[in-house]
Structure formats: C-alpha cells, structure tokens
Structure 1
Amino acid sequence: MSDAAVPDLTELLADSPTNWGKWGPDDEVGSLNYLTAEQVLAGAAQIKKGKVFTLQRLIGDPKGDPVWPGRNPAVREMTLDESHWDEGNNGPAFPGGMHCADDTLTASLQGSTQYDALGHVWYDGKIWNGFDARTTIGGLSKASVAPIAERGDAGRAVLLDIARHRGKEYLEPYETFTHEDLVACAEAQGTPIRPRDILVVRTNHLQLFFEKGDKFYSDFCEAGLVYSPELVSWFQEMEIPNLVTDTIANEVTMDPHNGAALVLHSALMRNLGVAFTEICDLEKLATDCADDGTYSFFYVAAPLKISEATGSPVNPVAIK
C-alpha cells in the first residue's frame, strides 16, 4: 500500500470512542481507574497454590535484548569491582577493609519489559485525556509513566495463549488476531473474560528474535492484535484496564487493512487510556497454565517511578 493511500489517524479514528474526561480533566492513569479495591480482591481470590511467576525479560540477556528498531539494547558497565584494589588502581579505602562492586545501566526506558506512559503516542496534537501534545516537549509534564508507577496495577488477569490456541509454537510476522479470537481462546481455555480483567496475551513471537538475531528486523512486522472499530468498542464496553503482551509493541506493526502503523496505540491508549505492558516473558506461566488448566491469576505490577518519562521498566508478577 502506497503512503498516499494510508489514511491519517485523525480520519481513521474520527468516530472512535474515547474515555477523555471520564475520570476528570486531570486524570493521567486512564483505564487503570477500573481496577478498584473490588477488582484487586477479585484478583487475590485467584490465588490457590501460591505459585509465583515473574514476567520481565532479562536485561542484558547474553542471547540479546529484543527492542524496537532504532532503539539500542541496554548497556551495563562495571564502575567498581575487585580489580580496583589491584596494585596501583587505588580502590576506595573503606574503614575495616570492605570491598564492593558497582555498575551503571544505560538503557532506553522503552527497551525492556515496560509500561508505556499514556502520553507516549498521539495524533492531531492531543495526547491522552485531551492534554496538548506540546506537554511532551523536554519530558512529559502530563500523562507520564510516573502516575501509573505511583498508582500501581493489580487485579484479576487472564492468560490468552493465542499461539497454543492456534496449535503453533509461535505466531509468524504479519499474523493477526482480533478481539473475537481473544474471546474464543478464553472460552476454549475454560476461563471466559470478565469485565475489567487484565488481558495477558501470549504469541511467543519473540522466539523468532532469539532464533534469527538481527535478521528478525528484516521486513519487520510483529504479530499481534489488529484494529477494527468493533475491537475498540469491545475494549471500552469490557472496561479493559491493561493489555499485557510478549511482543515489542502489543499489536501488529503495520495494519494490513489500511497500512497505518500501530493504530491500537492511538485507539486504545491515547483514546481509551488502556495501559500497555510490552515485551513480557510469558513462557513459564503459559506452560503452567496449560499443565493445570487454570488461566486466571492475580497480576500485580508497578513500573519504576521516573519523572516525566515516556515509559519505565517493570517486572510484573503473576500469582496462581
């Protein structure tokens, strides 16, 4: 599809629903407001065995860190180690003779398992809740990740194992699915999606990154959810607070129907305030769910509190 034929998001999403103003003119956490105390308790009620699964991918993985094209993987560097006490290196002299190690991390805040800020994407000069896009200049003074980090995220979650549902080890590039597929997957797993559930979607698409290395980025287009007006309406009607996936961008990269990039970032995050959590490692959780047939669990997460940031690393926890 030629660039000239790709519709502008202002046109494509002209009639798309929004939650702007629903929680007041100053709201910066959007659909996470659906996660009331009642939802937290509903999540906690899923705990039957006390099994804990952490969902963050390893930063600095020797096999590589999957990141969005153009972003650099994290670089960890030692600033203090035992070599600093070798002869002539003048390591610090602590009373009592203690030695220690220190290091630094240089990383894109969107370069690992992370939450997007609601102000991360926009069109037509407005970010989430109608804040002016110029509030992003020099840092997000509105709808940064900090309010999400301050609030935290906890509730009942359902794993939707789309790859296993389709009888595949992983979804291929360009492969798409809809909200109807999510519903069908949940029904087949015996755990229907309830209003206000946190949706955790497994594609295992990033296995291709670990198999192919840099060739993963050739003709780059991740598998994922694909935009439709019906999907957006379903997310709004179901009051979905958080979309959690194991891909870099939570949706098919280029919409096969219109050629636009990352439409759901705008339709769901910018317009409905749905929190996006990306690049999760769902493999151990998915195996356990398949083994015991239980696909609902307590999900709890809070990204790092970073002022005015567009996103922040997180290590979500699923408890069954």
Structure 2
Amino acid sequence: MPIAERGVAGRGILLDIARWRGKEALDPAETFTHEDLVACAEAQGTPIEKHDILVVRTNYLKHFFDKGDAFYDDFCEPGLTYSLELAQWFQDMEIPNLATDTIANEVTYDPGSGVALPLHCALMRNLGVALTEICDLEELAADCAEDGQFTFFYVAAPLKVAKAAGTPVNPVAIK
C-alpha cells in the first residue's frame, strides 16, 4: 500500500544528539553513527525499540537563522554517516521513518568516500525508510529535556500526489 494511503504512525523517540554531546548545535560535517543513536537513547533513559520512529535533533538549523545566506558557504551539514552496519541496523530494527532537523537527514558528504547523500539510497531506496527533513524540534526537545520523557506518539502523512518521489508532511508529536 502506498505510504500516502496510510502515512506513518507509531512510537517516536527523540534522540537529542546535540544535547547528548553537550553542544548547542552540531558543527558542520560532524557525524554520528547508529551506535551514537543507541548510546544517546540509553543516556536519555529510553532505549530504541524495534519499529521506533527516530527523531534526531542536531539543532543545526540554528546556523541557518544565525548566518543567513552565508549558511550555504562551504555547505556540509552534520548527520548520520553511511556504513553497512548502519544500514543493517536500520533493517534489523525495522525503522520506518527517520526525521531530523537538517536538510538531508545525513552528513552532506560522506567523510570516508566523499559521496553525497549515500544514506538516501541505502535507507530510502533500498529499505523503504521514509525520510522527514527540516523539522523544527526545539519545543519538543525542550519539553523532553524538562520532563525526561523522550517518547511520544508520532504521526505524519504525505500529500497524495500521483507519481511523486516525495511530498511535504506535517509531522506531529503527541506526548
């Protein structure tokens, strides 16, 4: 069944990578792995479970608001970096959706290979993981940090557009 017929709904978990690393925001080209996601979740007291919807906060969009047009100078966002182990972990965990506050859900250029956006192929194309980008996670992150609850009901449904490769969604976190 096409995703636009049913959307994505389930247990969401905020993985506040910036806060976990003790930073206001991640740096350009800063990477993290699935092992970092697991460690962040454990540190927050909420282990990642099979079928969880991963919502990752880097707070990198802060740089967009702070820098304006200069944001795109030498552009390389932070994010997940490709590895066979990461792709296997996503498959084994049956992660349906990866949502982030970045433009591309992954580091722009893989530091090992220099390839641009390899996770789009590995996760989205090969595994069917829906990618949700440019989410405003600041209120959710503040709320989660305040009450220590990093899980919530997550729902998002794309627009139903014939022959589209992607459409906007309005993801909602209900705590």
TM-score higher than 0.5 here?
yes
> Match of 1:227, as an amino acid?
Y
Structure-1 residue corresponding to 2:143: 288
Gaps of 5+ in 1: 1-28, 30-146
Shift of 1:312: 1.2
Report matched runs for 1:79-228 at 5 Å. 147-228=2-83
Q: Please, which of 121, 125, 131 is the counterpart of residue 266 of structure 1?
A: 121
Deviations 1:58-102 (A, max 9, x none): xxxxxxxxxxxxxxxxxxxxxxxxxxxxxxxxxxxxxxxxxxxxx
Shift of 1:254: 0.2
* C-alpha separation in 2, matches of 1:169 and 1:186: 18
Q: What SS does the aligned partner of 1:298 have?
A: strand
Shift of 1:245: 0.5
Q: Which has the larger radius of gyration?
A: 1
Structure-2 residue corresponding to 1:253: 108
Across the two proteins, how many residue pairs are aligned to each other?
Answer: 175
Deviations 1:178-217 (A, max 9, x none): 0000000000000000001000000010110110011010
Report matched runs for 1:37-48 at 5 Å. none
* C-alpha separation in 1, matches of 2:125 and 2:162: 20
Q: What SS does the aligned partner of 2:74 have?
A: coil
Q: Give the TM-score normalised by the residue count of structure 1.
A: 0.54
Moved over 3 A (4+): none
Gaps of 5+ in 2: none
Structure-2 residue corresponding to 1:311: 166
Would you tell me which structure has more helix in proportion to its own residues? 2
> Match of 1:158, as an amino acid?
I
Structure-2 residue corresponding to 1:297: 152
Shift of 1:311: 1.6
* C-alpha separation in 1, matches of 2:143 and 2:56: 15
* C-alpha separation in 2, matches of 1:284 and 1:318: 11
Q: What SS does the aligned partner of 1:211 have?
A: helix
Q: Give the TM-score normalised by the residue count of structure 2.
A: 0.98
